[in-house]
Structure formats: structure tokens, C-alpha cells
Amino acid sequence: MWTPRLIDGARMKYLGIVEALEADIRSGHVARGDRLPAQRAIAEALGVDLTTVTRAFNEARRRGLVSAQAGRGTFVSETQDGGTEEQSLIDLSMNIPPQPADVNFRKLLPGGLREILGGATGLLHLHYQESTGSEPDRAAAARWLGARIEGISPDRLVVSAGAQCALFAVCDLLLQRNDVVAAGAMTYPGLKAVAIQKGLVIEPLDMDREGILPEAFEKACRDREVKLLYVIPSIDNPTTSTLPEERRRALAEIARRHDVVIVEDDPYAALLPEPAPTIFAFAPDITWHIATLSKCATPALRVAYVAAPSAQAARRLASVMRATMLMAPPLMSALASRWIATGLMDEIAKSIRAENLARQQLAAIALGTLNYAADPHGHHLWLRLPEHWRASDFAEYANLAGVSIVPASAFATVAHPTEAVRISLGVAPDRDVLEEGLTLLSGLIAQPSAGTRAVV
């Protein structure tokens, strides 16, 4: 293993590390394929900060000296021709759950499908299904949602090919062009996409660290003819806020008073050890509750469950889905049902929750005293930027430095959003890669901002 050192007289310390490594590789002191020490160990050995070592690793990767292997670390490249290779981008933009070490989806997915297809009714899953979802799949949905919606009947449930399909179908069923949808000032980009396609008007609602303010919703209902309230009640995307029970109850009461339908998009509740009561529980006759499995298991399961205000409403929604997606994927729906029945889905959610906790702790160390919001059980955080940074510039500079993040403009329903970025912790293949990305961002945020385009 390489003994860390740096070349004296190098223009910058991180280049001194790279040049020392390159010299040791060429002299044969370090063999190709050797694993390098952890970045933190190198920083301690050389008496430099972790950001310096991270920059050195990125430069070494750019030169083709080393390569990172997910879950294993960084190794001296097997072949080197003196050229450079493009630095791989660390993706902290896609908001997907992490893959815990004790959950192997590469085995679970094909293994589960083999069991389903090999069963007595296996061939039925290769046929067309009802647009509501098969009876066994709706029963599984009732079991999964039962922990949060007590006594929900399967005839009020619809199985969808993911939450986005469900959201579009609900809006298509209930709304017309130019109808007003109330949503947080920062909201899920999928809602914005639906609004563009349907010609809907989004009325932004003020938020604080606990989510949408009921008084802002009340004012919007008085000032505008609001037709629908869209809300992510638990671990909001992107702000990470979770509505307390009294606020959920207040939003439900305001909606009922002003004849507003509620869409409760609740993808993260299964990650909370003790989730608050759903808004659906306070207003089941005016609420559409959407619960995807993508955020508590894997996006590979294109399955979401929709609890409708009534059985009749569920059938009406199914008629829209019949025209848009026809049906949820039968094999994925059956696999989700099997995992729910065996308790595996609960175990997967618990493992993801534990991995989220570990990654959030890592983020707390890497980001230190920076101003950010996070839920310890979620897999994203909301980083508020200091005055010298604009979110769009910071995201662009981060991308140039090798880290992909999402600026506030992607979520904003207001003209001048807060200067913040969403950082997704789950998409990084392992904690080492995540730490590298967070360290780069922490170093970048302390630097003065500069425009990337000339003005003439």
C-alpha cells in the first residue's frame, strides 16, 4: 500500500500529493492495482485537511492514475498510458434510497420473480390486469397502508405504475386547464411537470421548518378559487420538513371548509420509526393518498398505491389510468405484494432507514456548521447557501468540481426562491463516495462565488 507523501515545492498541496503518487507509481514503489489508503488516513498522515486530499484524488483520477470501485475504495489504475480520463461525476442529484449492505437487490429481484413465475399462478402475471390492480395486489396494498391508514378497504385502493403516474391521473381526473393548485413555495418537480402538461396554475404557499403554513393556505383559499392542495407531509422534498399532527389537522379542516381536494403524496412515511397520522385520517372523504415504494425500497419497483376518497372515486381513477398507463406492471406488483406478505418490505425499509441514519451522520460531520435542514431518517438534505452564493452558480461550480446537485429553482413555485440546493445522500454507491462529494461541496461553499459567463 502506498505510503502517503507530497512533493515539496509543488504549486499547491493537493498537486504535491498527486505528483508524489505519480512518481511512486512510475518508479515501481506502488504497484498497479494496489489499494490506496482512505482519504481521511492520508489527510492525518500528511497533516492536511480532508478537502486537500479529496482534490488530490480527483486530479489523480483525471490523470488516469487511479480509479474508484464502489464499495471497495480507490485503486492504482491497472493500465496507464500517460493520458487523462474524464473525471467521473459524483451524483448527489437523484433522490433515490441508498442500497444497504444487507439488502442485495441484484439477488432479491430476479429471485423473487423466479418464485412468482414458478408458482401455480405464475402465468397469470404475464397477462393483462385490471387497471385498479389485481385483487391480491390491492389486498397487499391495504396491508401495507394499514399501518398508517387504519381499516382501509381494498376497494378504495388503486395500484399505479409509480407515484408520478398516480399524480398525473388524479390531476387529470379532477382538474381543468387554469385550475389553481396550492402547494409549498418549494415543491416536488413532478407536480410542476404535471401543471405544465395540464395548464394548471400553482399557487405558492409560505413554509417554515415544519412545512406549509396553515394560515398561508387559508389566505390562498380566500384570495383564489383553489381546487386542490398538494402536500408531502413527511420528509418533504426538497425541504425535509415534516408536518406536525396539529398542522395536518388544520390543513384538512381548511380544505374541507373551502371545498378543496387534497393530494397527500407520502413516499417517505415508511422510513419514519413513528410517523404522524396521515392527512387522509383527518379527511378521508376529500383526500387522495399516494404511497410509492420507490423511496422506501427501490425505484425498480414501479409500484405506488393510491387510497381514494371512496370506492367509486377509485373506479373513476382507474378509468383515467386505463387511458394513460393501462395497468401497473403485473410482475412488479406481484413482487411487491410478495415482499409485503413475507415482511421483507418492512425489513428493506428498516435497512434503508438505518443506512440513511449513517449517511446523515456522515453529512453532519462533512458539512459541520453549515446551514442545512435534514431529517435523520431521510435520504436528502436542504442546504441553504451563504449570501455570496446563488444556488444556480453553486450547482454549476459543483458540477465543474465533479458533484451533481439540484438548485432551488428546480423546486420553486415563486419567482425568487431561497438560495439553497438539495443534496441527495442515497444515490452515492457507498459512503466513501458520498463523503468525497460532501467534502468537495463543503470546501466549495467557503470559496468566493464568481460568475462563469463573461458579460460584455
pTM, 2 dp: 0.82
Q: What is the rounded distance in angstroms from the CA atom of residue 252 to the CA atom of residue 287?
A: 9
CA distance 284 to 271: 23
Q: How far, CA to CA in Å, does 375 sit from each of 267, 296, 423?
A: 14, 15, 13
Strand positions, DSSP E, 358-447? 372-374, 380-384, 403-404, 406-407, 420-424
**Is residue 83 scored above 60 in pLDDT?**
no
The average pLDDT across 71-83 equals: 69
Q: Which three cell numbers stand for residue 242?
A: 415534516
Domains of the chain from N-terminus onward: 13-86 (1.10.10.10), 120-346 (3.40.640.10)
pLDDT at residue 151 in the model: 93
Summarised one tens digit per residue, pLDDT across range 252-261 is: 999 999 999 9
Measuring CA to CA, which residue among 255, 242, 252 is closest to residue 211?
242
Question: How confident is the model at residue 352, as a pLDDT?
Answer: 98
- Kindly state the average pLDDT of the residues 41-46: 88
Higher pLDDT pick, 152 / 84: 152
Distances (CA, A) of 258 to 252, 262, 454: 10, 11, 50
Could you give the CA distance from residue 49 to residue 56 in angstroms, rounded to a whole number? 11
Instruction: Give the model's pLDDT for residue 70.
Output: 54
pLDDT tens digits, one per residue of 378-405: 999 999 999 999 999 999 989 888 899 9
Write out the three cell numbers for 409: 429553482
Res 453: pLDDT: 46
216-230 pLDDT tens trace? 999 999 999 999 999
